[in-house]
Amino acid sequence: MSFKDGDFVRVEYSAWRGSDGSLAYTTEKSVAEKNGVSTEGNTYGPRLIIMGKNTIITGAEKAIAGMNVNETKKVEISPDEAFGQRDPGLVRVMHVSDFRRRDIEPRAGMQVDLDGTIATITSVNSGRVTVDLNHVLAGERLTYEIKVVEKIDSVDKKVEALAKMSNLSPDSAKVSANSAEILFGDKTEKDANYFINKSAFVTSVFRYLPEISKVQVREEYAKKDGEGSVSEKQ
């Protein structure tokens, strides 16, 4: 089997840095724990890759394209097909006050969001902060170990997979003709993140499933105990 552009594929993978052999990233909790990098709150499990849509680095996608379901492969990937070469022009010096205005107390090793770009603070000295806007893995030759877990063919399942990619868990997803209907029940917390993720999800459906031209999102809310009641003052 080989995969083509637009295919939905679930994969497990781990990446090791060529510079020192350390684990850079993994989708498997057991691998993270074995390498001492497991962090509470991290989400592990197979990742959705949409072939030809830049959902994984180029070198890994090329490897996946020629694989079969349940096949495991180890590949070495050059910086040019990973996170690019390091650009010295992306290393800058800022004043510590630039961070404090953002309610950030800078320290070496911290990753910060600077106007939508993730930067790594490399040093803090005499009121000056050196930041590196290169990707943390820029310039690294990586070794990827990849396992293809599943190919998703059903459009219903593709819609569910896109929802999960946006950190949502729909109660149901049904596709009829060119329309998708998704239900988020009362157990789904409808906080600010939910509405942001919902917008991203709908956008991804239109982007990755061209056969769908309409998305209907249904929401259910259940009254919590005590809501709507009026307490008596004694």
Q: Which residues of 86-124 are buried (b: 16+ CB within 10 A; e: fewer)?
A: beeeeeeeeebeebeeeebebeeebeeeeeeeebbbeeb
Measured in whole angstroms, the distance separating CA 134 from the mean position of its chain's CA atoms is 18
What integer pLDDT is reported at residue 2 of this predicted model?
84
Which of 37-46, 115-124, 180-189, 215-224 has the weakest average pLDDT?
A: 37-46
Bridge partners of 50? 8
- Max mean pLDDT range (49-58, 97-106, 224-233): 49-58
Query: Is 130:93 a contact under the CB 8 Å cutoff?
Result: yes
Strand runs (DSSP E) across the chain, as ranges?
A: 8-17, 23-26, 47-50, 72-77, 91-95, 111-114, 117-125, 128-132, 142-152, 172-176, 179-184, 214-219
What integer pLDDT is reported at residue 233 of this predicted model?
46
pLDDT tens across 22-81, in order? Answer: 999 999 999 999 998 876 667 899 999 999 999 999 999 999 999 999 999 999 999 999
Query: pLDDT-based confidence at 234, cuts 50/70/90?
Result: very low
pLDDT at 135 over 60: yes
CA distance 55 to 115: 23
Q: Which two tokens stand for residue 189?
A: 């917390």
> What domains sit in the chain, N to C, each tagged with a CATH number?
1-85+138-152 (3.10.50.40), 88-132 (2.40.10.330), 154-222 (3.30.70.2210)
State the amino acid at position 191 in one-letter form: D
Query: pLDDT-based confidence at 226, cuts 50/70/90?
Result: low
What's the number of CA atoms in the CB half-sphere (13 Å) around residue 52? Answer: 8
pLDDT at 218 over 60: yes
If you average pLDDT over residues 138-167, what whole number do you get? 96
Query: Is 67:73 a contact under the CB 8 Å cutoff?
Result: yes
What integer pLDDT is reported at residue 87 of this predicted model?
96
* Bridge pairing between strands 142-152 and 8-17: antiparallel
Query: Is 19:86 a contact under the CB 8 Å cutoff?
Result: no
CA distance 192 to 203: 17
What integer pLDDT is reported at residue 153 of this predicted model?
95
What integer pLDDT is reported at residue 228 of this predicted model?
61
What integer pLDDT is reported at residue 13 of this predicted model?
97
* Bridge pairing between strands 23-26 and 8-17: antiparallel
Query: Is 149:10 a contact under the CB 8 Å cutoff?
Result: yes
What integer pLDDT is reported at residue 102 of this predicted model?
87
Is 50 exposed, middle or buried, given 0-12, 13-18 or 19+ CB atoms closer than 10 A?
A: buried
Q: What is the mean pLDDT of the chain?
A: 92
If you average pLDDT over residues 181-203, what whole number do you get? 94
Q: How many percent of the chain have pLDDT more than 70?
A: 94
Strand runs (DSSP E) across 64-209, as ranges?
A: 72-77, 91-95, 111-114, 117-125, 128-132, 142-152, 172-176, 179-184
Query: pLDDT-based confidence at 227, cuts 50/70/90?
Result: low
